[in-house]
C-alpha cells in the first residue's frame, strides 16, 4: 500500500508543505508524487538512501523542463506526445505539470481536447500504467472499500464518467477515463489542486460500441451497457460509497449521455457536492462571453433575446445559466424563460411535441407564436427573424448551419449581434469567424468553441476568444472546497461567469475578444474561486473548510488567503524522513 511508503505534511491552510517518506531507499524513485529524477540534490541522495542510484551531476527542474519539451517536440504526432506526457506524469508528477505550465496553450491541446479523443479511442492499445478507479458490476458492491484505499491522499476532487458521451465521439467504454485524467490535470493547472488530491473514476457499466466489444484486447467490462433500473442502482451504489468515504470532496460528473447527465445531476444535488461540467460549466463560460459582449455593446443582459441551436446537455445548460442570470437581474422566472428559445434537429422546441424531460423547460407554446403556422416553420432563420434574436448560440454539432442568411437576419435585429458558434472540432463549427465578420461587416461579437487564429477584416485584426470550460470548472471546484460548501448552487456559476468576464482586459475587448487567453488560466481560476467561495458563504452553504482555524469567520480576506495558500505549484517539495 502506498500509504506505507509516504504521507503528506499539511500546513495551517491545507497546503502541502512536505512529503514524509516512511523509510529511505530506492523505492522513493518509483512513486510519482515523490520522484524528482535527476533533481534529487546530493544532500537528498545521501539522506534518502539514493546515493549511487543516479548520475553524479544533478539536473534541476528548469533544465528538466527544457529537456522534456525537446522530447515532446521530437515526437511524430500529438498522440505520441500525449503518451509521453502521461508517461512522464506516471513517473514524475511535478515535472509533468511544470512542463505543461511552461506553455499551457500548447500542451492543453495535447493533454485534453482534441488529442484526448484519440486517447479514449485507443485506450486499450496505448495503455501503460493504471490510473484512478474502474468500477464495474463485478466490484461495485465493494465500492466503499475500494475508495478507502485513497483516503491517505486527502481526495478533494473526483471527476467521474460513465464513458457514454465522449467529446462528440460517443460511447468509448473504459477509454472514457482518459477524459477524467485530462480534466484533473487542468484542475491542477488552473486551480492548483495537488495531483494527489485528485481522483479519476470510471463507472464502467459496459459499452454499446460494437468495435470495442469485438476487440479481443479491449480492457473494459465486455458487456452491453446497463440501462434502466440496473444502471440507476449501479450509480446509486457508487454515490452512497463516495459520500461515505469523501463527504467533503467534490464529485464532477463528466460525459454522461444527455438524459442521464440531467437525471444524475438533479438526483444528487443535495446528497453529494457535485455538478456536471458539460451542463453547468458550458453554461457559465458561455454566459461569460455574453457578459463581455454586453460590456462592449453597453447593453443589458435582460434586453437581449437568446436562441440556442442545439438542445443537448450543453445547449440546455446554456439556457439554464442564462435564465439564472436573468432572474438574478430581477426578471421573474417566466419572463426570463420567455426570452430564451431552443432548437433541435426538428426545429424550434415546442410543447406540442413529445420531448425528453430536460428539453421541456424551454419549450414554447406554438399557439402563442403567430408566425408559427406549419410544422416546418420553426427553422433557424425563421426564429431569428420573427423573434428578433440578438444572441445566437450554436451547440448543435452541425457544421455551417449559421449561414449568411441566418447571420444577416440577426443584423437586422441589432447592429452588433452576439454570435457564438461553440461546436467543435473546427469541422463542426456552425460558422467560421472569418465569414461572420464578412457577413456583418465586422459588427458581430464572436467567441467560438474551437480555437481559431485572428481574423483580418477591413484593416482590423480581430482576436477570437475561445469558450473553453477550463476557465470555469477549476476555479469553481477550488471555491467550493475552500468555502466548505455542502451543495453546489446555480449562483456559483453566475458568479464564475462574471469573474471570467471581468478578466478580459479593455485592450482585448477592443480586439473583439470575449474571453481571456488560456495563458492566464491560473489567474482566471483564482478570480473564479474567490467569487464562488464568497457566493457560497453569503448563500449560507459554505462554512470555510476544516483545513482552517477560522471555520465560522467569514472574512473575505481570510477566504482569499486560504484559497491562495492551498494552491499547489509544480515545484519539488521537501522530502522528510519519518522520525
Of the residues 107, 136, 183, 306, only one is catalytic, namely 183
Kindly write down the DSSP assignment for every residue of 164-215, as one continuous string: SSBTTTB--GGGGHHHHHHHHHHHHHHH---GGGEEEEEE------HHHHH-
User: At a CB cut-off of 8 Å and minimum separation 6, what does 572 contact?
Assistant: 36, 39, 61, 94
Could you report the per-residue pLDDT of 256-295, keeping only the tens digit for each? Answer: 998 899 999 999 999 999 999 999 999 999 999 999 999 9
- For residues 345 and 249, membership in a common domain is answered with no
Q: Is 171 exposed, middle or buried (0-12, 13-18, 19+ CB in 10 A)?
A: buried
Q: Domain of 129?
A: 105-256
Is 183 one of the catalytic residues?
yes
Structure confidence at residue 544 (pLDDT): 60
Residue at 296 is within a domain:
yes
- For residues 246 and 306, membership in a common domain is answered with no
Structure confidence at residue 552 (pLDDT): 45
Residue at 499 is within a domain:
no
Could you report the per-residue pLDDT of 2-40, keeping only the tens digit for each? Answer: 777 899 999 888 889 999 999 999 989 999 999 999 999
- For residues 337 and 456, membership in a common domain is answered with yes
pTM greater than the 0.75 cutoff: yes
- For residues 241 and 330, membership in a common domain is answered with no
Give buried/exposed letters for 46-59 (b at 16+ CB in 10 A, else e).
ebbbbeeebeeebe
Is 112 one of the catalytic residues?
yes
Residue at 237 is within a domain:
yes
- For residues 288 and 171, membership in a common domain is answered with no
- For residues 216 and 109, membership in a common domain is answered with yes
- For residues 225 and 346, membership in a common domain is answered with no
Of the residues 82, 112, 437, 572, only one is catalytic, namely 112
For the chain, give the longest Cα–Cα distance: 83
- Give 286 or 542, the one with higher predicted confidence: 286
Residue at 529 is within a domain:
no
CATH number for position 409: 3.40.50.720
- For residues 372 and 301, membership in a common domain is answered with yes
Q: Region 207-221: what's the mean pLDDT? A: 97
- Give 561 or 525, the one with higher predicted confidence: 525
What's the structural domain count of the chain? 2
Residue at 71 is within a domain:
no
**Domain's final residue, options 202, 221, 256:** 256
Amino acid at each position: 500500500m502506498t500509504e506505507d511508503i509516504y504521507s503528506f505534511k499539511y500546513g495551517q491552510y491545507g497546503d502541502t508543505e512536505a512529503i514524509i517518506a516512511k523509510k529511505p531507499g530506492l523505492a522513493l524513485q518509483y512513486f510519482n508524487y515523490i520522484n524528482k529524477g535527476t533533481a534529487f540534490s546530493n544532500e537528498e541522495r545521501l539522506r534518502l538512501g539514493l546515493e549511487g542510484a543516479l548520475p553524479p551531476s544533478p539536473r534541476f527542474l528548469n533544465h528538466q523542463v527544457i529537456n522534456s519539451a525537446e522530447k515532446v517536440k521530437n515526437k511524430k504526432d500529438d498522440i505520441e506526445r500525449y503518451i509521453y506526457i502521461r508517461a512522464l506524469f506516471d513517473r514524475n508528477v511535478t515535472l509533468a505539470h511544470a512542463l505543461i505550465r511552461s506553455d499551457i496553450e500548447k500542451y492543453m491541446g495535447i493533454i485534453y481536447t482534441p488529442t484526448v479523443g484519440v486517447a479514449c479511442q485507443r485506450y486499450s492499445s496505448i495503455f501503460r500504467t493504471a490510473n484512478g478507479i474502474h468500477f464495474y458490476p463485478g466490484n461495485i458492491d465493494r465500492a466503499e472499500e475500494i475508495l478507502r484505499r485513497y483516503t491517505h491522499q486527502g481526495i478533494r476532487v473526483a471527476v467521474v464518467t460513465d464513458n457514454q458521451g465522449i467529446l462528440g465521439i460517443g460511447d468509448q467504454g473504459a477509454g472514457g477515463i482518459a477524459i477524467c485524467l485530462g480534466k484533473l490535470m487542468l484542475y491542477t493547472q488552473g486551480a492548483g489542486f495537488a495531483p494527489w488530491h485528485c481522483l479519476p473514476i470510471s463507472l464502467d457499466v459496459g459499452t454499446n460500441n460494437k468495435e470495442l466489444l469485438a476487440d479481443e484486447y479491449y480492457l473494459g467490462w465486455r458487456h452491453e451497457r446497463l440501462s434502466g433500473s440496473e444502471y440507476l442502482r449501479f450509480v446509486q451504489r457508487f454515490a452512497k460509497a463516495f459520500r461515505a468515504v469523501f463527504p467533503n470532496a467534490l464529485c464532477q460528473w463528466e460525459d454522461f449521455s444527455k438524459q442521464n447527465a440531467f437525471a444524475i445531476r438533479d438526483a444528487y444535488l443535495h446528497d453529494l457536492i457535485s455538478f456536471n461540467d458539460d451542463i453547468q460549466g458550458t453554461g457559465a463560460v458561455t454566459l461569460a462571453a455574453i457578459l463581455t459582449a454586453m460590456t462592449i455593446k453597453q447593453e443589458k443582459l435582460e434586453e437581449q433575446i437568446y436562441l440556442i441551436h442545439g438542445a443537448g446537455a450543453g445547449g440546455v445548460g446554456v439556457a439554464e445559466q442564462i435564465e439564472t442570470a436573468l432572474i438574478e437581474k430581477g426578471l421573474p422566472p417566466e419572463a426570463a424563460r420567455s426570452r430564451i428559445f431552443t432548437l433541435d434537429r426538428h426545429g424550434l422546441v415546442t410543447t406540442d411535441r413529445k420531448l425528453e424531460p430536460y428539453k421541456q423547460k424551454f419549450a414554447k407554446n406554438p399557439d402563442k407564436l403567430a408566425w408559427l403556422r406549419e410544422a416546418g416553420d420553426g427553422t433557424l432563420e425563421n426564429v431569428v427573424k420573427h423573434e428578433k434574436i440578438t444572441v445566437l448560440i450554436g451547440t448543435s454539432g452541425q457544421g455551417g448551419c449559421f449561414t449568411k442568411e441566418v447571420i444577416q437576419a440577426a443584423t437586422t435585429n441589432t447592429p452588433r449581434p452576439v454570435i457564438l458558434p461553440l461546436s467543435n472540432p473546427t469541422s463542426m463549427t456552425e460558422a467560421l469567424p472569418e465569414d461572420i465578420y464578412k457577413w456583418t461587416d465586422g459588427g458581430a461579437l464572436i467567441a467560438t468553441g474551437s480555437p481559431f487564429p485572428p481574423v483580418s477584416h477591413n484593416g482590423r485584426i480581430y482576436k477570437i476568444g475561445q469558450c473553453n470550460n477550463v476557465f470555469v470548472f477549476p476555479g469553481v471546484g477550488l471555491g467550493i472546497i475552500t468555502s466548505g460548501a455542502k451543495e453546489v448552487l446555480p449562483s456559483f456559476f453566475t458568479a464564475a461567469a462574471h469573474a471570467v468576464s471581468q478578466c478580459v482586459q479593455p485592450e482585448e475587448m477592443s480586439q473583439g475578444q470575449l474571453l481571456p487567453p488560456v495563458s492566464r488560466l491560473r489567474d482566471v481560476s483564482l478570480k473564479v474561486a474567490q467569487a464562488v467561495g464568497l457566493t457560497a458563504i453569503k448563500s449560507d452553504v459554505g462554512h470555510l473548510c476544516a483545513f482552517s482555524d477560522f471555520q465560522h469567520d467569514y472574512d473575505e480576506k481570510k477566504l482569499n488567503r486560504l484559497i491562495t495558500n492551498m494552491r499547489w505549484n509544480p515545484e519539488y517539495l521537501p522530502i522528510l524522513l519519518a522520525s
